[in-house]
Structure 1
């Protein structure tokens, strides 16, 4: 009989949909943190360079497409304009909840200097318009609804730009209250129905594959499989 731990050892978690831009309609559907974004270079500025456009004005190069691929990004007229950056941030937050990391990346995408984006993000956090703790909890709930495990949820939080310590606390709290255990059992019941009548080893393999992709731990998957499959 194949063991769950051995089976999963060669199959690291691969979350469904990771790396694929999704609509900005829910906390877990905002654009991937760092995916397609201009990361900061070693000097703390966003990558991408600048181009001289008309009258020697110093502006970011134009023509880049948005992360979702649905048109060019509208770049900031003045990369150091704090008021304009703040308005852009508020529009982004109005469209969808975001983490501080994801918002900072989007502002850099729009052509604002990294220090300006940092200042705006810090201020929005101070006045509670940006709340990583609350956002992390919403992502955990979303992941639980997708029957994801602790590892998978941690990966999703990281992908969305949630600070690591906040992500750890959110995952630990959910783990303590049995959120991921319940998710594993729900996943097991679903695969028990889907694979009814199949060879027992194949049933377990399919369940372990699904559980591994969703980031559940082998011991939990072994217990669920032993009971349901």
Structure 2
């Protein structure tokens, strides 16, 4: 093995921009640069620890030193189902609170995440029950917030119920909360707002084309056909 000084002596590096080291852009090299990674227009979405990065494929004659370096990162590489003690209630509770601090969740979604981490089902149920008693976990409040989110995206009742169940809300509760929103006209207004947007975007096109666009968008968002017919009749005729 040669020293760094000896390597540089044998392979001098030409200054950037010189004949021996022309400047090339990422686009010229056929590389697409993602602004989210380089701190571009939208800023970085995560920070890569380039200073401490390890190339696991690089040759290393000192196996013990390499193992020591890799051990520093072992806590990051811990896979699901490898908690130190699946029956540790305190650790499970701390994990649950960290998850809730990061984002609101239903009890069903939280339960799934904790089970994925490797905690025992009984321990997870105990933690969720305690968090519910302390009003730190409320499925109805969470479901209502999801309904508001769906209404803001101009979704219909069917689409909203699907979104609620996808997020771990019990089917009966999802149906109940969606029924309440429907009785208050939430999804009706969402359908009309969707219709107004489609009408603006398709102005000047044939009626059949405009109607097809509305039906396509309304179907994807889970609106019922009868509501879409009324909206199309009023806004697209």
Asked whether the two chains share a fold, i.e. TM above 0.5, the reply is yes
Q: Distance in 1 between matches of 2:122 and 2:220?
A: 37
Match among 83, 101, 108 for residue 94 of structure 1: 101
Q: Distance in 2 between matches of 1:75 and 1:182?
A: 48
Equivalences for 1:105-116 in 2 at 5 Å? 105-116=112-123
User: Displacement of 1:75 after TM fit?
Assistant: 3.6
User: Displacement of 1:74 after TM fit?
Assistant: 8.3
Equivalences for 1:36-115 in 2 at 5 Å? 73=80, 75-115=82-122
Alignment partner of 1:77: what SS?
Answer: coil
Equivalences for 1:26-37 in 2 at 5 Å? none
Equivalences for 1:49-198 in 2 at 5 Å? 73=80, 75-198=82-205
User: Displacement of 1:117 after TM fit?
Assistant: 1.0
Alignment partner of 1:116: what SS?
Answer: helix
The answer on whether the counterparts of 2:115 and 2:121 sit within 8 Å (CA) in structure 1 is yes
User: Displacement of 1:73 after TM fit?
Assistant: 5.0
User: Displacement of 1:80 after TM fit?
Assistant: 1.0
The answer on whether the counterparts of 1:192 and 1:228 sit within 8 Å (CA) in structure 2 is yes
In structure 1, list runs of 5 or more residues that go unmatched: 1-61, 66-70
Residue matched to 2:10: none
The answer on whether the counterparts of 1:184 and 1:211 sit within 8 Å (CA) in structure 2 is yes
Q: Distance in 2 between matches of 1:176 and 1:192?
A: 26
Structure 1, 107-116 or 189-198: larger mean CA deviation: 107-116
Q: Per the alignment, do residues 170 and 78 of structure 1 end up closer, same or farther by CA in structure 2, a change over 3 Å counting? A: same
The answer on whether the counterparts of 2:81 and 2:119 sit within 8 Å (CA) in structure 1 is no
Residue matched to 1:227: 234
Alignment partner of 1:135: what SS?
Answer: helix
Residue matched to 1:212: 219
Higher relative contact order (CA 8 A, sep 6+): 1
Residue matched to 1:9: none
Alignment partner of 2:179: what SS?
Answer: helix
The answer on whether the counterparts of 1:64 and 1:73 sit within 8 Å (CA) in structure 2 is no
